[in-house]
């Protein structure tokens, strides 16, 4: 088990290293001069030289990369050209908002998706199964940004049930926060719920067709015990794998939701930074996202050893 843990940890470190290289390369891969993109054309050569020196672009590439990575390790993420603030302060203010959204959507995906998938498998090819499959197809097919605009039009503008935009911390005003955040969380969790439900249904149908399940039923065991104590325990591995991948999909979804609902989170910050060529923000957020996904994958790998003893022994 220790060897298994070490291998996965080293793999995570390697992935994070690759992410830092790719994030650093953004500054040099995109067409055009990033300094001129920031300052514009009507500038003096002295202003260009000063900004190059501030961004360390006057140094060799290996030295630029080392200065940037060493700053990340120390917590120095650079300074935002767009906001004229330290990136660390911007991240500190925006990160809790995105975590609030993503964590709530993640919990909903598990709490709703797994029972829905189990129920769909239990009532295979019956009315309940057809309804759940319809919801799964809807959640997978409908573009989240389009649905967000529809929700805003009907529930915010026409019915005035929810605010059009904004975010309030639940520690400041819980009622207002709940009113503002409910619909964005539901929209953000729609696709993850559908993904988890589909994978749970597929895994459960595969397990329920096994011979040991038929044997358990022939012995007169209660259907509830067969489902939760025997079938689901053996179907959980692929479901956990999909749950681990939700970290990536939630990041992409939060960018759209935060932009549409004007929520001051990491996603909206990154969109503003991309359009403004604020590379310090873009690079930092890419590293944070890469680190988050890598940690999620590491936790999924470690959970395999506890969910399946055969994997634990093999590791």
Residue ranges of domains in the chain: 87-314
How far CA 120 is from CA of 126, 127, 197, in Å, comes to 8, 9, 8
Q: What is the mean pLDDT of residues 44-59?
A: 79
What's the distance, Cα to Cα, between the start and end of the chain in Å? 5
Please tell me which residue, 22 or 312, carries the higher pLDDT value.
Answer: 22
Please check whether the domain covering 87-314 is classified as CATH 1.10.3720.10. yes
3-state secondary structure (DSSP) of residue 80? coil
- pLDDT per residue as tens digits for the range 144-171: 888 888 888 888 888 777 777 788 888 8
Cβ neighbours of residue 81 under 8 Å, at least 6 residues apart? 38, 276, 277, 278, 280
Q: Inform me whether the pLDDT recorded for 61 exceeds 60.
A: yes
Mean pLDDT of the chain: 83
User: Cα–Cα distance between 111 and 104 in angstroms, integer?
Assistant: 10
CB-CB contact of 65 with 71 (8 Å): no
User: Cα–Cα distance between 269 and 275 in angstroms, integer?
Assistant: 10
Q: What angle, rounded to 10 degrees, do the helices at 144-151 and 232-260 form? A: 60
Q: Inform me whether the pLDDT recorded for 8 exceeds 90.
A: no
| Percentage of the chain exceeding pLDDT 90 | 11
Residue 228 DSSP one-character state = I
Q: Inform me whether the pLDDT recorded for 267 exceeds 70.
A: yes
Q: What is the mean pLDDT of residues 45-60?
A: 79
Q: What is the mean pLDDT of residues 10-21?
A: 87
| Percentage of the chain exceeding pLDDT 70 | 93
- pLDDT per residue as tens digits for the range 294-314: 888 888 877 776 776 665 544
pLDDT recorded at residue 32: 65
Q: Which of 16-30, 192-206, 223-237 has the highest mean pLDDT?
A: 192-206
pLDDT recorded at residue 315: 47
Q: What is the mean pLDDT of residues 68-75?
A: 87
- pLDDT per residue as tens digits for the range 89-106: 999 989 899 889 988 999
- pLDDT per residue as tens digits for the range 252-264: 778 888 888 888 8
Residue written as tokens 């995109």?
A: 30
The pTM for the full model equals 0.81
pLDDT recorded at residue 133: 92
Please tell me which residue, 134 or 223, carries the higher pLDDT value.
Answer: 134
Q: Inform me whether the pLDDT recorded for 35 exceeds 50.
A: yes
Residue 126 DSSP one-character state = S
Q: What is the mean pLDDT of residues 21-47?
A: 75
Q: Which of 36-40, 41-45, 207-211 has the highest mean pLDDT?
A: 207-211
- 300, 299, 265: which is closest to 285 by C-alpha? 265
Q: Which of 49-53, 206-210, 300-304 has the highest mean pLDDT?
A: 206-210
């Amino acid at each position: 088990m220790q060897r298994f843990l070490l291998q996965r940890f080293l793999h995570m470190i390697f992935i994070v290293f690759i992410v830092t290289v790719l994030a650093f390369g953004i500054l040099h891969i995109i067409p055009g001069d990033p300094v001129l993109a920031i300052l514009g054309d009507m500038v003096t050569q002295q202003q260009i030289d000063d900004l190059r020196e501030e961004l360390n672009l006057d140094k060799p590439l290996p030295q630029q990369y080392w200065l940037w990575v060493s700053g990340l390790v120390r917590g120095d993420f650079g300074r935002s050209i767009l906001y004229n603030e330290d990136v660390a302060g911007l991240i500190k203010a925006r990160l809790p908002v995105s975590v609030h959204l993503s964590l709530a959507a993640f919990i909903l995906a598990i709490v709703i998706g797994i029972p829905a998938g189990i129920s769909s498998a239990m009532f295979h090819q019956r009315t309940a199964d057809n309804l759940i499959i319809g919801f799964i197809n809807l959640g997978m097919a409908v573009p989240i940004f389009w649905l967000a605009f529809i929700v805003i039009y009907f529930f915010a503008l026409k019915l005035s049930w929810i605010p059009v935009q904004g975010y309030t911390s639940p520690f400041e005003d819980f009622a207002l926060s709940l009113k503002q955040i409910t619909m964005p969380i539901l929209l953000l969790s729609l696709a993850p719920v559908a993904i988890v439900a589909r994978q749970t249904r597929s895994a459960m149908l595969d397990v329920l067709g096994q011979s040991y399940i038929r044997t358990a039923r022939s012995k007169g065991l209660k259907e509830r015990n067969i489902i939760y104590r025997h079938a689901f325990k053996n179907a959980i591995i692929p479901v956990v794998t999909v749950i681990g991948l939700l970290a990536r999909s939630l990041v992409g979804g939060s960018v759209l939701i935060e932009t549409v609902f004007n929520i001051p989170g990491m996603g909206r910050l990154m969109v503003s930074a991309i359009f403004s060529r604020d590379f310090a923000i873009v690079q930092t957020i890419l590293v944070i996202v890469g680190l988050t996904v890598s940690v999620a994958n590491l936790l999924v790998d470690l959970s395999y050893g506890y969910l399946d003893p055969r994997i634990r022994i093999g590791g």
